[in-house]
Amino acid sequence: MRTRPSHQSNNVGRKRRLRFIMFFVCCFLIWTGYTAYLQNSVLEATEKDLKTLKQEALEVNQQKEELENIMKRLEDPEYIAEVARKNNFMSKPGEIIFLIPDHE
Residue, of 86 and 37, whose pLDDT is higher:
37
The whole model's pTM is what?
A: 0.50
| Statement: residue 2 has pLDDT above 50 | no
Q: What is residue 76's DSSP assignment?
A: S
Read off the pLDDT band of 56 (50, 70, 90): very high
The span from the CA of 75 to the CA of 63, in Å, is 19
Q: Distance between alpha carbon 56 and the CA centroid of its chain, in Å?
A: 10
Mean model confidence pLDDT for the chain: 87
pLDDT value, residue 6? 57
| Statement: residue 1 has pLDDT above 50 | no
